[in-house]
Structure 1
């Protein structure tokens, strides 16, 4: 039964994860008038994604309050570990009021809003495969940031993996910029499709991961410092995200300089409402985001970090193949080389190769893993 449960989670994660960038690309390629202008609304797409995240947070909150309704393993997978280590952590302090501890979560909420909007804007000037590969670079950025700000220490092979990840990203970024300058990456975007700044899209995608890494590091630091439950922290961050996104949308709607730009919310809403395909795709996008976030938490607990890394590589490959089939993407050997280097780095860092060799030894040679090199997540 556990095998069926895991297969269900994996299938749901792959379907939803593959769908998200493809739906965003479909919206970016959608013609909205007789002048062949396209739907280029990254901030409005952020709203769609955020609605899906709120749906996921609401679902987790319901499960955490009604654990008797569902399988306990599902509850454990979304709640995470509530217990904190009380010794050996210099950040940990006594519990303070939820207001003062929770108010700091406005910073990672802002990072999430900025990174999501930058990703959506970068996708306009790029392709779904590059979009997804850039998201995979978060492993390297998070490692560097945790070393700088959380005083983490890494082994030699982990540093090699980080350098490998960043090397793969450099190759992918270079290819994206070169192909954009020749018209091979960015779609025809009406007023945005002149390709005068070929590095704009790739760099947006790259720098968005800096904000994602900041978000992850801050979340880990704050939950550790204030001994905050992950479910409660997720709810607080969702509340702050709602406020920040609401303020951003209002400011964009009231700012005259935003008119006729990618942040023209009034025009974007009118296009969305009057296009049957667009508002349907917006609903599907929000649902896919909710499913992906929810299943992602459960899968990480069920298959572990190495298994999740393999699934992410499969997801990126499927996105590339499907997007190429529908004309949203192209194949390049240079990009493929960068992708392979990136995946090798991620696999080394997350212990995929070690997990495979350990499983082979146990299966065929009946050898137990060495205690010092056994995977931390088993």
Structure 2
């Protein structure tokens, strides 16, 4: 158990760091377009499709968790019969031996009353409708991911990762406006630090010299703005899940992630890419993004480098999802949040190492250089992380107050005949529950799995957070 736990930690850091680098490399690899020109694969909309395909791979793992107990059942039944025969053929066995054999029988004999290994409560109308509702947060994911993908075209990987800390600010605001959450002084201090840190990182990006893999100053401003806007959308997604999807917390994390991937793939193929094919833009044929040209570049380029990098990215996302859920199940969301911060730092260090290690693609350096404004970026990152940790301290305060209020109301209720709310807290008072607003999404490529660039824990109200919590004893996390 300990070995698998730390293997998951190391694997999550490794796959997460590689995915951050690959998210930029995918835009830099080149292929031959429909006009016969060799151009970079600047196809953010298609790369979003790859992300959702990678997410949907979790459905295979979920199906495997359902099928594997069924396949093992005949072998278990055979073992049970063997132990029963041993007890029958040896009536002189002592009490300890019989007790041991009976324990073996109980362990191998399938129980009809057991909950299905997949973790569901049966496909009732309500649960099926709930699974269909996952299409709504998938649509949130889709819009946010497209915006982030376009923004990534114009900024470095480290800036992209760090700017995603803006989600904390928006999720805190939305949790107050729409969910009636209560923020403490520590929350406000954390938010203020996050705003200062994000601002410093953004200013450092704009003032830094242009690099080969970034856009012009104006394009960088647009890219940063799109990334920040995407975080507002993801914060809205968290609020939606907490308010409308509490009944789905019984679902396995692999099922939640897989369904979002499946719905996202369908939305991309049936709606988004066809619309991008119609809207005007700078791609081949004057389109916003020409899907026919994307497929041509992927399959008709002689070295198939684009196909290789995209398939590689999809598998990285799948492995990162699995390892991330294992880490959260074993060590908790806060530990995973710390790993996410470490991953952001590692991605920056790897980028610097690639640049100064003369790692090139088509004769141009990969990674990013260190300049005078990198000190400002580093300081902003430290302040952003500090703000997140301070915000987490506010969450701890909220949990303590909520626990104390509940205990007090239980004591009062024990000596009173007056009816109180089920939660033990009067409905007219705001409940001081914690809400750590960092994305609880799914993948490494666009980092929907948990804390984004910096931080906090998985939002306590999000669907994935609740399913992960309920899966601590479930087959998926248990077998990790």
- In the alignment, what sits opposite 1:174? 203
1:200-244 deviations in Å (ceiling 9; x for gaps): 1111111111121122222222221x4553335545434432321
Work out the CA distance in 1 between the residues paired with 2:281 and 2:170.
34
1:69-118 deviations in Å (ceiling 9; x for gaps): 89xxxxxxx989x89xxxxxxxxxxx964565455433311110111111
1:160-185 deviations in Å (ceiling 9; x for gaps): 11221222112112222333xx424x
* Paired residues of 1:309 and 1:346 also in contact (CA < 8 A): no
Work out the CA distance in 2 between the residues paired with 1:155 and 1:68.
50
- In the alignment, what sits opposite 1:251? 275
**Aligned pairs (5 A) from 1:193-342:** 193-224=215-246, 226-227=247-248, 229-231=250-252, 233-234=256-257, 236-246=259-269, 247-253=271-277, 257=281, 259-260=283-284, 263-273=289-299, 274=301, 275-327=303-355, 328-331=367-370, 332-342=374-384
The answer as to 2:158 corresponding to 1:119 is no
The answer as to 2:11 corresponding to 1:12 is yes
Work out the CA distance in 2 between the residues paired with 1:16 and 1:254.
36
Work out the CA distance in 2 between the residues paired with 1:353 and 1:155.
8
Q: How many residues align?
A: 334
* Paired residues of 1:309 and 1:352 also in contact (CA < 8 A): no
- In the alignment, what sits opposite 1:145? 174
Q: Tell me, what secondary structure is at the counterpart of 1:199?
A: helix
* Paired residues of 2:144 and 2:230 also in contact (CA < 8 A): yes
Work out the CA distance in 2 between the residues paired with 1:336 and 1:162.
18
Work out the CA distance in 2 between the residues paired with 1:126 and 1:160.
28
Q: What runs of 5+ residues in structure 1 fail to find an aligned partner?
A: 71-77, 84-94, 355-370
The answer as to 2:29 corresponding to 1:26 is no
* Paired residues of 2:43 and 2:294 also in contact (CA < 8 A): yes
* Higher CA-based Rg: 2
Q: Which has the higher helix share?
A: 1
* Paired residues of 2:277 and 2:290 also in contact (CA < 8 A): yes
1:25-47 deviations in Å (ceiling 9; x for gaps): 11222233697732211011111
Q: What runs of 5+ residues in structure 2 fail to find an aligned partner?
A: 73-116, 356-366, 397-402, 405-433, 435-456, 458-468, 470-480
Residue 199 of structure 1 deviates from its aligned partner by: 0.6
**Aligned pairs (5 A) from 1:66-77:** 66=68
1:126-172 deviations in Å (ceiling 9; x for gaps): 00111111233333332322222222223221221122122211211
Q: Tell me, what secondary structure is at the counterpart of 1:37?
A: strand
Q: Tell me, what secondary structure is at the counterpart of 1:329?
A: coil
Q: Tell me, what secondary structure is at the counterpart of 1:330?
A: coil
Residue 309 of structure 1 deviates from its aligned partner by: 2.0
1:292/1:171 Cα in 2 relative to 1: closer, same or farther (>3 Å)? same
* Paired residues of 1:105 and 1:236 also in contact (CA < 8 A): yes
- In the alignment, what sits opposite 1:73? none
Q: Tell me, what secondary structure is at the counterpart of 2:30?
A: coil
Q: Tell me, what secondary structure is at the counterpart of 2:343?
A: helix
Work out the CA distance in 2 between the residues paired with 1:297 and 1:333.
34
Q: Tell me, what secondary structure is at the counterpart of 2:220?
A: coil
Structure 1 residue corresponding to 2:54, chosen from 52, 55, 77:
52
1:36/1:178 Cα in 2 relative to 1: closer, same or farther (>3 Å)? farther
Instruction: Work out which structure has the larger RCO, using CA pairs closer than 8 Å and 6 or more positions apart in sequence.
Output: 1
Which has the larger displacement, 295-304 or 329-338? 295-304
Work out the CA distance in 2 between the residues paired with 1:154 and 1:26.
40
What TM-score do the two structures reach when normalised by structure 2?
0.62
- In the alignment, what sits opposite 1:157? 186
Work out the CA distance in 2 between the residues paired with 1:155 and 1:67.
47
1:23/1:234 Cα in 2 relative to 1: closer, same or farther (>3 Å)? closer
* Paired residues of 2:151 and 2:222 also in contact (CA < 8 A): yes
